[in-house]
Structure formats: structure tokens, C-alpha cells
């Protein structure tokens, strides 16, 4: 009961009052949790993992299946409402699968990052890798988007959102693209240190 009351009040039982950090996970079907129960989606499992560590946090699921980076940009303002403390951006996989010109993806992701920074919202950018069949040049142009944006001040980078999960049949659904609940657990475990760093940046801005 104490834990439930603490969760409602945004209190860390071990550390006293602590306003929850409000994070928006802005992404595509990998964020939305396509094919999974709501509680097995990436935002839900990330929130649970952080709370298990005593971190007061709310992670909103702003994933939309099929979204490209440009579509994510188009809905940015209403997907990231006022009061958001931090954003995890997971976009670009559909751009790659559709073979969209990396320049368009770069422009959209750059605009997303810059708009969020203009709002003083710390950003964690989750990178994506290109499929080998798209060719070496496409791969270089696509993957450099994330490393280049990650080099900007105020932007954290997690190089590959599907690290340790991509191409692992036991961690993906039948389509071979979307992770199972266990696959999401692997993603959360991998990205968790970066999310904690993101939260630390929020605490510096809003102690």
C-alpha cells in the first residue's frame, strides 16, 4: 500500500518527495508496441524498469505505427505537450525500409531535435541501422544522421535502438521486425543507462 500511495503522489519511498519526470517516447511501431499488449510496449516497460529503481517517472507512448521521421515532425507539437520534461526520439526505421532519401530523414530529425531543444527539452535520440541490401552508400548516409545529431550539444545518443535484438529470431515476432515482449526487455536493459542520464539532465534543469 505504501508503494501505491507513493506512486500516486510521485514520492520515492527511499528518498522523499520527488516530482515525476515526464518523458515522451516519440517513435514508430517499435515504440508503439505493434503486436504486443500495452503493458509490454517499450514505454510501459521502460517506465516499470525506472520505477523499480526508485525513479519517479511517467513515460508517455507517442509511438505511431508506420511513421517516418517526416510524419513524426508533422505531429511533434501535439505529441509532445507542454509540461514534457524529456523526449526519447525513435524514428527513421520506416524511412530506411522505404528507401527514403537520407537527406529527407536527416532534415526531419534535425528539425525535431532543434525544436525540442528550443523548448529546453533534453533529447535522447535512438539510432537505427540500415539494412545491408540497401547498399553501402545508403547505409553510410543513413547511419551518419544519428551520429552527427548525437554530436550536438544537449543531445544524447543511443546508437542502435534494436541492439542485441535485430535479426534474433527468438526476440522478434513472426514478421522478423518487431520485438517480442522479451525483445523489449532487452531493448530496455540496453538503453536504460542513457535514459537515466537523460533524467539526470532534467534534474539539472529542474532540480
pLDDT digits (tens, 9 = 90+) for 84-138: 999 999 999 999 999 999 999 999 999 999 999 999 999 999 999 999 999 999 9
19 carries an active-site annotation? no
Of the listed 18, 28, 29, 79, which one is catalytic?
29
Question: Is residue 176 situated within a structural domain?
Answer: yes
Interior angle at CA 18, CA 121 and CA 83, nearest 5: 30
Return the closest-CA partner of residue 161 out of 71, 43, 64: 43
Q: Residue 136 is part of a domain; what is its CATH number?
A: 3.40.50.1110
144 carries an active-site annotation? no
Give the span between the Cα atoms of 156 and 78, in whole angstroms: 23
Question: Is residue 15 situated within a structural domain?
Answer: no
Give the ranges where 27-101 is alpha helix by DSSP (H): 29-32, 42-52, 69-74, 76-79, 93-97
Domain count of the fold of the chain? 1
29 carries an active-site annotation? yes
Of the listed 151, 153, 169, 175, which one is catalytic?
175
Question: Is residue 7 situated within a structural domain?
Answer: no
Question: Is residue 8 situated within a structural domain?
Answer: no
The model carries a pTM of: 0.91
- Radius of gyration of the chain measured on its C-alpha atoms: 17
Tens-of-pLDDT digits for all 207 residues of the chain?
333 333 333 334 433 346 899 999 999 999 999 999 999 999 999 999 999 999 999 999 999 999 999 999 999 999 999 999 999 999 999 999 999 999 999 999 999 999 999 999 999 999 999 999 999 999 999 999 999 999 987 799 999 999 999 999 999 999 999 999 999 999 999 999 999 999 999 999 877
Amino acid at each position: 500500500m505504501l508503494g501505491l500511495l507513493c506512486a500516486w503522489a510521485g514520492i520515492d519511498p527511499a528518498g522523499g518527495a520527488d516530482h515525476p519526470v515526464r518523458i515522451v517516447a516519440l517513435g514508430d511501431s517499435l515504440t508503439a508496441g505493434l503486436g504486443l499488449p500495452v503493458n509490454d510496449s517499450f514505454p510501459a516497460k521502460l517506465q516499470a524498469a525506472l520505477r523499480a529503481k526508485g525513479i519517479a517517472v511517467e513515460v508517455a507512448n507517442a509511438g505511431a505505427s508506420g511513421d517516418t521521421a517526416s510524419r513524426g515532425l508533422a505531429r511533434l507539437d501535439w505529441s509532445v505537450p507542454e509540461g514534457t520534461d524529456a523526449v526519447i526520439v525513435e524514428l527513421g526505421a520506416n524511412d530506411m525500409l522505404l528507401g527514403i532519401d537520407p537527406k529527407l530523414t536527416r532534415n526531419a530529425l534535425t528539425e525535431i531535435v532543434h525544436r525540442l531543444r528550443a523548448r529546453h527539452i533534453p533529447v535522447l535520440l535512438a539510432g537505427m541501422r540500415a539494412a545491408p541490401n540497401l547498399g553501402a552508400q545508403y547505409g553510410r548516409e543513413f547511419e551518419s544522421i544519428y551520429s552527427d545529431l548525437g554530436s550536438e550539444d544537449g543531445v544524447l545518443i543511443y546508437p542502435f535502438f534494436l541492439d542485441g535484438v535485430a535479426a534474433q529470431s527468438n526476440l522478434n515476432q513472426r514478421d522478423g521486425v518487431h520485438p517480442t515482449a522479451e525483445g523489449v526487455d532487452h531493448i530496455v536493459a540496453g538503453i536504460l543507462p542513457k535514459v537515466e542520464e537523460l533524467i539526470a539532465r532534467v534534474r539539472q534543469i529542474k532540480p
